[in-house]
Amino acid sequence: MVTATESQIFSLDAAGVNKPSLAGLTRDGLKNALAAAGVPDKQLRMRVGQLWGWLYAHGVTSFDQMTDVSKDLRAKLADMYSLDRPEIVSEQISVDGTRKWLLRLPKRGHEMTAPEIETVYIPESDRGTLCISSQVGCTLNCSFCHTGTQRLVRNLLPEEIAGQIMLARDRIGDWPGAERPLDGRLLPVAERKITNVVLMGMGEPLYNFDNVRDAMEVASDDAGLSLSKRRITLSTSGVVPEIARWGEESGTMLAISLHATNDALRDELVPINKKYPIAELMEACRNYPGLSNAKRITFEYVMLKGVNDSLAEARALVRLLAGIPAKINLIPFNPWPNTKYECSDWQTIERFADVVNRAGYASPVRTPRGRDILAACGQLKSESLKVRASARPEADAADPAA
Ligand code: SAH
Ligand code: SF4
């Protein structure tokens, strides 16, 4: 459980004093915060329920809007806490409508600078997907991934993960009953823009297991943000021992960053493969709780020119996935400065996709989105620097492989 004091998002009030934010907190986090504000034990459950609705079903940004909370308590809460979201450093909007936010998080512990993360919103005709980050940087070094070149600064807290969803809803006017920022009309629930959340931003979510799990409880709670777990997907590079536990404790949809069909190549592209090779990864996938044709695992395969894009590899991919309820997502490689890789030719991707399609997989080639603003898969990287190892105990705890 995260305690109120160590888990808050801080903001500066008029007097320059840090006020912890309640936005994004779990029920336990809210309970602690309310208890610290003097709410008696026997009222805590009821008060948490009230705040929960205002925070997550309505998305209020001021305590004054919490009309069924007594004026005295509202004043007390406003005195001690804020409802701030992570701070927006910049917002970029791609020609295709994709939006990327660079967000600044509060400094914690011995951090010398405030860490920064990225969140991306991808609107499509039938859905809107929010891609959120789980860590600042990543400890793994997948050779084709921009985020991998940035060392981990720290794990995100549950409220910093759920806070990304709240901030995105604020920015695109996506709270039920909220006024649209642009034309002032009310937004009916059925018109909600963020329909899906993917943990495919910065970081390896299974290396921040508990915080990501708690944040997804906030995200999927029916009385709050109410995103169905069927519409939340966790993508992992293959932290085998945590896959079954994720299925049991959270049970969202799962995506695996596969990218190669033999260990020699996968060792090079996704180095965690040296620790958990393909056979073990496939075994963990076969055993993923709740797996069925209606709940398939997505296998992500980035198309790298001359590296993993031969037809023999397409056939090997089909063989490897035999017997697993699977979807295959072919991702055109998104370039970033100084990378040694290139994206496969379009014709090569199509031929590869043909083999996969003929084997019975409807394998959409994921159209790159937001490439012009470096918002596409694997292009995310913030300027946060690594602080001295001795000053960041939580970062090492975040990486069981360290
Ligand atoms: N760390 C997790 C989730 C974040 S990465 C993971 O690795 O699964 C989200 C997806 O983008 C992964 O499948 C990753 O392999 C892929 N990716 C990384 N860099 C990429 C790039 N430059 N082009 C295309 N996809 C990339
Ligand atoms: Fe980390 Fe995923 Fe990038 Fe690999 S692909 S370096 S695990 S963010």
Per-residue pLDDT tens for 79-118?
999 999 999 999 988 888 889 999 998 888 778 888 899 9
From 145, 204, 209, 236, the mutation candidate for ligand 1 (largest count of ligand atoms within 8 A of CB) is 145
**385, pLDDT greater than 70:** no
Q: Are residues 228 and 96 in the same domain?
A: yes
Q: Is residue 181 part of a domain?
A: yes
Q: Are residues 13 and 35 located together in one domain of the fold?
A: yes
Split into its structural domains, the chain has a count of 2
Predicted pLDDT at 214: 97
Predicted local confidence at residue 16, as pLDDT: 45
331 lines ligand 1 (CB under 6 A): yes
Q: Express each pLDDT in 162-172 by its tens digit.
A: 999 999 999 99
Q: What pLDDT does residue 111 have?
A: 80
Instruction: Please report whether residue 345 resides in a domain.
Output: yes
Is residue 395 one of the residues assigned to a domain? no
Rounded to an integer, the average pLDDT of 371-386 is 60
152 lines ligand 1 (CB under 6 A): no
pTM, to two decimals: 0.88
Q: How far is the CA of 201 from the centre of ligand 2 (A)?
A: 9
Is 390 domain-assigned? no
Distance CA 59, CA 22 (A): 12
Residues 158 and 30 in one domain: no
**131, 138, 343, 377: the active-site residue:** 377
Mean pLDDT lowest among 135-144, 217-226, 327-336, 363-372: 363-372
What is the Cα–Cα distance from 24 to 29, expressed in whole angstroms? 9
Q: Transcribe 319-383 into DSSP letters.
A: HHTTTS-EEEEEEEPPP-TT-S--BPPHHHHHHHHHHHHHTT---PBPPP-SGGGT-STT-----
pLDDT value for 329 = 94
CB 375 within 8 A of CB 92: yes
Do 160 and 249 lie in one domain? The reply is yes
Identity of residue 80: M
**Looking at ligand 2, which residue's alpha carbon is closest to its atom 4?**
142
Q: How far is 270 from 314, CA to CA, in rounded Å?
A: 18
Q: Which of the listed residues 63, 80, 97 is the one where a domain comes to its end?
A: 80
Domain endpoint, select from 33, 56, 80: 80
Verify whether ligand 2 is closer than 6 Å to residue 384 (CB atom).
no
Domain match, 96 and 243 both: yes
Do both 74 and 156 map to the same domain?
no
Tell me what the mean pLDDT of segment 110-132 comes to.
Answer: 90
Distance in Å, CA 239 to ligand 1 centroid: 14
Last residue of a domain, one of 80, 103, 133: 80
User: Which residue has the least CA distance to atom 1 on ligand 1?
Assistant: 204
Same domain membership, residue 66 and residue 170: no
Which domain CATH number covers 71?
Answer: 1.10.150.530
Answer whether 148 contacts ligand 1 (Cβ < 6 A): no
- Nearest-atom number in ligand 2 for the CA of 141 is 6
**Identity of the amino acid at 324:** I
Are residue 93 and residue 15 in the same domain, yes or no?
no
- Annotated active-site residue 377? The verdict is yes
φ, ψ of residue 22 to 5 degrees: the values are -90, -10
Residue 55 has pLDDT above 70, yes or no: yes
Residue 341 alpha carbon, nearest atom of ligand 1: 22
Element (H, E) at 102: strand 99-104
Q: Write the CATH number for 286.
A: 3.20.20.70
Q: Is the CB of 145 under 6 A from ligand 2?
A: yes
Tell me which residue range forms the domain holding 70. Answer: 4-80
Q: State which ligand 1 atom lies nearest to the alpha carbon of 255.
A: 8
Ligand 2 atom closest to Cα of residue 148: 6
- Residue 342: is its pLDDT beyond 60? yes
DSSP 9: E
Q: pLDDT of 4-31, one tens digit each?
A: 333 344 444 444 446 899 999 999 999 9
Indicate whether 8 and 61 sit together in one domain: yes
- Any idea which ligand is nearest the CA of 272? 2
| pLDDT at residue 8 in the model | 42
